[in-house]
């Protein structure tokens, strides 16, 4: 079955492949060879295990992060272009990290739009500027007036920014 991986083994027992072996297996995998694809995945699991260390202590189980990293590895194998003179690991590292970061970002229970985040940032900047000029914390109404937006928009953006952080 395509994409099935046997994880009942010690990562250290998996052989490391040199660049030529990796590229050969990638060409076979791209041609539909599931055995070559599985060998590629298994031989690069140590890379995934090393990369997830950067993301531990963020409230996620290491096994969950490992699984997401493996998804990134599989996508990397499928998308790797052999026509470019690039080592597989050089291409794989940012792809795997990107997959993990995407998971961490998208796993939040509350999604705040980019425009709302940007508005909250402008509000915080204006709040700091007004605090300096007024020598006190400005009211939400003063911030709204300065930015020429409604009080409701200020409160909504601040609340949304608060719930994410």
Task: Tell me the residue length of the chain.
Answer: 165
At 163 the pLDDT is: 57
Maximum pairwise Cα distance, the chain: 69
CATH number given to 114-164: 1.10.10.10
Q: Where are the domains of the chain?
A: 13-106, 114-164
pLDDT, tens only, 42-68? 999 999 999 998 887 777 888 889 999
| Residue entry with tokens 């076979």 | 28
In whole numbers, what is the pLDDT of the chain averaged over residues?
A: 85
Q: What confidence tier does 9 reach under pLDDT thresholds 50, 70, 90?
A: low
61: left (phi over 0), alpha (psi -120 to 50) or beta: beta
Judged against a pLDDT cut of 60, whether residue 165 lies above it is answered with no
Q: With CA atoms as reference, report the closest residue to 121 among 72, 63, 64, 165.
A: 165
Q: Assess whether pLDDT exceeds 70 at residue 2.
A: no
Q: How far is CA 45 from the centre of its chain?
A: 18
Helices (H), 80-150: 88-106, 114-134, 140-147
- According to the model, what pLDDT value does residue 16 have? 83
The answer to whether the CB of 160 falls within 8 A of the CB of 120 is: yes
- To the nearest 10°, report the CA torsion of 136, 137, 140, 143: 70
CATH topology for 13-106 is 1.20.120
Separation between Cα atoms, residue 46 and residue 14, nearest integer Å: 8
Is 60 exceeded by the pLDDT of residue 70?
yes
Residue 97 pLDDT grade (very low, low, confident, very high; cuts 50, 70, 90):
very high
Tokens 């963020």, residue? 58
């Amino acid at each position: 079955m395509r994409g099935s991986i046997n994880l009942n083994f010690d990562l250290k027992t998996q052989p490391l492949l040199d660049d030529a072996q990796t590229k050969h297996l990638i060409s076979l995998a791209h041609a539909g060879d599931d055995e070559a694809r599985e060998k590629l995945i298994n031989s690069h699991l140590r890379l995934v295990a090393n990369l997830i260390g950067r993301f531990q202590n963020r409230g996620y189980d290491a096994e969950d992060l490992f699984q997401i990293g493996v998804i990134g590895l599989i996508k990397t194998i499928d998308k790797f272009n052999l026509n470019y003179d690039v080592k597989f690991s050089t291409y794989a590292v940012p792809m795997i990290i990107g997959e993990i970061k995407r998971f961490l970002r998208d796993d939040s229970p509350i999604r705040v739009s980019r425009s709302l985040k940007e508005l909250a940032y402008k509000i915080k900047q204006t709040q700091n500027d007004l605090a300096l000029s007024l020598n006190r914390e400005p009211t939400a109404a003063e911030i709204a007036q300065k930015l020429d937006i409604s009080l409701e928009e200020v409160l909504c953006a601040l609340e949304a920014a608060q719930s994410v952080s």
